[in-house]
Amino acid sequence: MIGYNTNELYIGDLDQSVTEEILFNAFSRFGQIFSLKVMRHIVTGVSRGFAFVNYLHAGSAMRAKTEMNGLKFFGKVLRVYLKSEFESLDPNACLVFQNLPQEITEEEILKLLKPFGNPFSVRVVRKEKEGEETRAFVQFEKLETAKRAIEELKGTQIGGRDIQLELANRKNKVFIKAKFHETAIEELKKTLEGWKYEESETPEVSADKVYFIALLKFESEETALSFLSEYRTNPNKCELNRPVDFERS
């Protein structure tokens, strides 16, 4: 039987160009691989910057962890842990940096965070569309560390920009998935009139144009809950012509 806690690795801070084939070629030299998967965006298919590699034997996983953790791979420094270590992290100890310079690197973020210890992972997400901004996601082990970083980095500038820093997993966000048609996004905006929110991500349309997703950030958790409550109890208020799902994140 495969030892779930000792055979499976979390591979973080991957370059987006790294595929399953590339990862297999790099990690199969440590032993026989049972399964391997690069995690991807559910709509665009773009790599989310991490993967899981499951070996048949625990010794193979430990050798891979020892030799590959901290190694530069496709221009980025890998972070390799047992999956059990990854799952033991406090999911609320994840920070998001916003209003960053386009050219910011993971190394610069790590240097800024040095007083708070070595984070579990750092991932910079660059936006290519006009008006969008570069963000960075940082996962710490403990929530107290993440909160201390937020408090002590207030007012910090990078490249002449005042960075914005908050917990990534605040419960003030709502995930929306809806059937796509020509005027669907405009109808969604009409549905949301009267609610104080900011669009945290540009809606993404699936490749087959069957549905789209959007993530909304409200001013508070209470507002997000009120929004969900209204549209679950009064579905007719939704202006969309097709079904829509709302879920707090």
Q: How far is CA 216 from CA 150, 158, 177, 242, in A?
A: 22, 26, 11, 19
Length, in residues, of the chain: 249
- Indicate the helix (H) or strand (E) that contains 154: none
User: Any alpha helices (H) in 114-200, and if so which ranges?
Assistant: 143-152, 184-191
Tell me the average pLDDT of the chain: 82
Per-residue confidence band for 129, with pLDDT thresholds at 50, 70 and 90: low
pLDDT tier at 46 (50, 70, 90 boundaries)? confident
pLDDT for 85: 84
User: Residue 189 — φ and ψ, nearest 5°?
Assistant: -60, -40
Q: Check residue 242 and give its pLDDT.
A: 43
How does pLDDT run across 207-230, given as a tens digit for each residue?
A: 778 878 877 877 777 788 888 777
Q: Following DSSP, what letter does each residue of 24-50 receive, concatenated? A: HHHHGGGS-EEEEEEEE-TTT--EEEE
What is the average pLDDT across 28-43? Answer: 91
Question: What pLDDT does residue 132 have?
Answer: 63
By the 10 Å C-beta count (0-12 exposed, 13-18 middle, 19+ buried), 148 is classed as middle
pTM exceeds 0.75, yes or no: no
Most confidently modeled of 36-45, 194-203, 215-224? 36-45
Helix, strand or coil for residue 77?
Answer: strand
State how far the alpha carbon of 53 is from the alpha carbons of 13, 60, 63, in Å: 14, 11, 13
Q: Domains in the chain, please, with CATH?
A: 4-87 (3.30.70.330), 94-167 (3.30.70.330), 173-248 (3.30.70)
| End-to-end alpha carbon distance in the chain | 35
Highest mean pLDDT among 25-29, 84-88, 134-138, 181-185: 25-29
219, 196 Cβ separation under 8 angstroms: yes
Residue-level pLDDT at 130: 57
- The more confidently predicted of residues 41 and 157 is 157
- Confidence band for 73, pLDDT divided at 50, 70 and 90: very high
Written as six digits, the tokens of 206 are 């699936």
H or E element at residue 76: strand 76-77
pLDDT digit string, tens, across residues 75-111: 888 989 998 888 888 888 989 998 898 888 888 998 9
106-126 pLDDT tens trace:
889 989 999 998 888 888 887
Residues 6+ apart with CB under 8 A from 67: 30
What pLDDT is recorded for position 191? 76
pLDDT of residue 21 exceeding 70, the answer is yes
